[in-house]
Chain A
Amino acid sequence: MIIVNQLTKPYGVNKGIFDLTFTVKKGEVFGFLGPNGAGKTTTIRHLLGFITPDQGNCTINDLDTFHHAQTIHKTLGYISGEIAFFQHMKGIDFLKFMAALRNMDSFHKMHELIEFLDIDTTGIIRKMSKGMKQKLAIVTAFMHDPDILILDEPTSGLDPLMQSKFVELIKQEKAKGKTILMSSHNFEEIERTCDRALIIKHGKQMALNDIDTLKDIQRKVFLITLEHISDRNTLLENNLKIVKDNGTQIEIEVSGSPNELLRQLAKCNVKSLDTKHQNLEDVFMHYYHEGDETDE
């Protein structure tokens, strides 16, 4: 169980983390969402015992994360947000080196993961692609079958196929009862894996909800192209939230269920229907506006 209690660590002006409190229950997959610079990595550094808080504290299995780092790390797997390997080593030598430091006696899981993620471990790390390095880091974090996993943007650099495989891996680990905290700036990824998610901005807690609630709040923008301009009024006259209106091209924002939109669209002659690609800003707009109001 991971407990973060009123954790505060300011860095300069408006940077750092402020009064963060949350608990990751045993067996739970916990998402940690926020844009770059929101304080995700700073929080994770505390959990790994790399830095000490100015105020508050955090514990893993009731042990202080700074003073008992070594004990905690025995059953913890970690992927760093900015992975730095021992560049001159070969992939397999690096894994063996880490396994030796961990006094691992079973290499079964290591080889299983190498195969599952399709890694070529014979090359020198310095020459590997970003994705390959990321996969190597995933193996390092999972190979000793830890009870707790702390993953800082674990899928960065992975192609979509690998991202799906990673989601599958997380689901397998969850089924085994592992406690997982993973940070991301990708909402989809968190949505597919996590039970609950914490959203932070400027180091402050914006929301802590279970994933279904977040889905309801999440806004999607549909891009609709109509066959005839006459159908436009059908859409405009209803309670739908129109974001953009270019005649036959209309953008409509939907929070939660798209049922109402679909009912109305059924009456129209639709040429094409698309969801607009959502970046993080869109997804969190709800919280960000709230945050801005209290900031200013």
Chain B
Amino acid sequence: MFNLKNNYKIWLIFMLIMMMYKTIIMGMYDPENAEAIEAMLEMFPPALLNAMGFNILDASLNGFLAGYYYGFIVILFPLIFTIMLSYKLIGKYVDDGSMAFLLSAPVSRQTLARTQGFTLFGMVTDLIASITLIGLIFSALLFPGELNIGRYLLLNLGVIFLFFAISGITYLCSTLFNEAKHMLGFSIGILVAFFVIDMLSSVDERLDFLQYFTLFTLFDGNKINQGDPIIYFHFTLLCLVGILSYALGYSAFIRKDLTL
């Protein structure tokens, strides 16, 4: 209750931004004239498009979304949201010392770590689910019958798995450290590193080996769209990363020295 009240505004802002992007990209889709967009994209250097994750493998609406929306934007915005939210839910109270009031209220560390963890993942999932729903409604209005709903839902399930892992990492950073600069520094540092490695690995074939060093390899919109069975292995790995990070963060938080 306390958490939602303070954070729903940012949630709403991110929701609106992502909704805007999604509807614009959907609006760009033209089932009759997929070549027109391809022609436009040919004006850009292919390395740049690869780096941004714009990679269209089939001309259906699903393929179009998987290539454009789920390549880059779907990661970037929830990523910023997740980093901000993990800090605001736990980190901030430790950094500024106001957690002293919560702990002496008395709320146990266990309860705090658990509630804030669930809230974090809950709100991120909510964000992704809302956008998924909006996409469903919007595609039904613009292109009735064009969207393969099963594949589309699977794609979004993948996003949720990805963000289970990502929020786990930001949760771990926020619970492990006592100071904002370390919490945010490590969260942002790790995730930006993954991001850059992901971009580099898709720019040049010689850098392909880099894909084994980034979490984002485990989410590949086009592979999910094609139903490549490797995605289930990816999902499992993402789940493991998430569970491990959340568990580590929780146990660190209930044991550590708090300089309140």
Stretch at the interface among B46-54, B60-68, B93-101, B123-131: B93-101
Assess the A84–B98 pair: CB atoms within 8 A: yes
Assess the B98–A73 pair: CB atoms within 8 A: no
Find chain A residues with CB under 8 A from B97 CB. 80, 82-84
Is B16 engaged at the interface, CB distance under 8 Å to the other chain?
A: no
Chain A nearest CB: distance from B112 CB in Å? 10
Assess the A51–B257 pair: CB atoms within 8 A: yes
Is B260 engaged at the interface, CB distance under 8 Å to the other chain?
A: yes
Is A107 engaged at the interface, CB distance under 8 Å to the other chain?
A: no
Instruction: Identify whether the interface residues of B are mostly helix, strand, loop, or mixed.
Output: loop
Stretch at the interface among A95-103, A199-207, A257-265: A95-103
Is A7 engaged at the interface, CB distance under 8 Å to the other chain?
A: no
Chain A nearest CB: distance from B255 CB in Å? 8
A39-96 with Cβ < 8 A to chain B: 45, 48-52, 69-74, 76, 78, 80, 82-86, 88
Assess the B103–A48 pair: CB atoms within 8 A: yes
Assess the A45–B102 pair: CB atoms within 8 A: no
Among B101, B258, B259, the residue within 8 A (CB) of A140 is B101
A269-283 with Cβ < 8 A to chain B: none
Find chain B residues with CB under 8 A from A88 CB. 6
The complex places the Cα of A88 from the Cα of B106 at a distance, in Å, of 21
B13-36 with Cβ < 8 A to chain A: none
Assess the B106–A70 pair: CB atoms within 8 A: yes
Assess the B257–A50 pair: CB atoms within 8 A: yes
Assess the A76–B104 pair: CB atoms within 8 A: yes
Known: A51-B259, A80-B260. A85 touches B101 (CB 8 A): yes
Chain B nearest CB: distance from A130 CB in Å? 15
Find chain B residues with CB under 8 A from A98 CB. 101, 105
The complex places the Cα of A144 from the Cα of B259 at a distance, in Å, of 25
Instruction: Mark each residue of chain B from 168 to 187: 1 if its CB lies under 8 Å from any CB of chain A, else 0.
Output: 00000000000000000000
Q: For residue A152, which residue of chain B has the nearest CB?
A: B100
Assess the B105–A50 pair: CB atoms within 8 A: no
Find chain B residues with CB under 8 A from A48 CB. 100, 103-104, 260
Chain A nearest CB: distance from B258 CB in Å? 4
Assess the B259–A73 pair: CB atoms within 8 A: no
The complex places the Cα of A289 from the Cα of B257 at a distance, in Å, of 33
Assess the B102–A52 pair: CB atoms within 8 A: no
Find chain B residues with CB under 8 A from A86 CB. 98, 101
The complex places the Cα of A80 from the Cα of B104 at a distance, in Å, of 10
Assess the A73–B104 pair: CB atoms within 8 A: yes
Is B107 engaged at the interface, CB distance under 8 Å to the other chain?
A: yes
Chain B nearest CB: distance from A198 CB in Å? 22
Find chain A residues with CB under 8 A from B226 CB. none
The complex places the Cα of A45 from the Cα of B97 at a distance, in Å, of 12
Is B2 engaged at the interface, CB distance under 8 Å to the other chain?
A: yes
The complex places the Cα of A212 from the Cα of B214 at a distance, in Å, of 68
Q: For residue B102, which residue of chain A has the nearest CB?
A: A101
Find chain A residues with CB under 8 A from B98 CB. 84-86
Chain B nearest CB: distance from A51 CB in Å? 4
Find chain A residues with CB under 8 A from B105 CB. 73, 98, 101-102
Assess the B103–A73 pair: CB atoms within 8 A: yes
Chain B nearest CB: distance from A44 CB in Å? 10
Chain B nearest CB: distance from A244 CB in Å? 43
Instruction: Mark each residue of chain A from 12 to 54: 1 if its CB lies under 8 Å from any CB of chain B, else 0.
Output: 0000000000000000000000000000000001001111100
Find chain A residues with CB under 8 A from B259 CB. 45, 50-51
The complex places the Cα of A156 from the Cα of B259 at a distance, in Å, of 20
Q: For residue A97, which residue of chain B has the nearest CB?
A: B2
Instruction: Mark each residue of chain B from 219 to 260: 1 if its CB lies under 8 Å from any CB of chain A, else 0.
Output: 000000000000000000000000000000000000101111
The complex places the Cα of A86 from the Cα of B100 at a distance, in Å, of 11
Q: For residue B2, which residue of chain A has the nearest CB?
A: A97
The complex places the Cα of A84 from the Cα of B92 at a distance, in Å, of 11
Known: A69-B108, A73-B106, A97-B2. A78 touches B100 (CB 8 A): yes
Find chain B residues with CB under 8 A from A97 CB. 2
Instruction: Mark each residue of chain A from 105 to 146: 1 if its CB lies under 8 Å from any CB of chain B, else 0.
Output: 000000000000000000000000000000000001000000
A-B contacts, 24 of them at CB < 8 A, read A45-B259, A48-B104, A48-B260, A50-B100, A51-B258, A52-B255, A69-B108, A69-B109, A70-B106, A70-B108, A73-B103, A73-B104, A74-B106, A76-B104, A80-B100, A82-B97, A84-B100, A85-B101, A98-B101, A98-B105, A101-B102, A101-B105, A102-B105, A102-B106
* Given contact pairs A48-B104, A84-B98, a sample of 18 additional A-B residue pairs in the complex whose CB atoms are under 8 Å apart: A48-B100, A48-B103, A49-B103, A50-B100, A52-B257, A69-B109, A70-B108, A71-B106, A73-B106, A76-B106, A78-B104, A80-B260, A83-B97, A84-B96, A84-B101, A85-B98, A101-B105, A101-B106
A binding-site residues for B, Cβ under 8 Å: 45, 48-52, 69-74, 76, 78, 80, 82-86, 88, 97-98, 101-102, 140
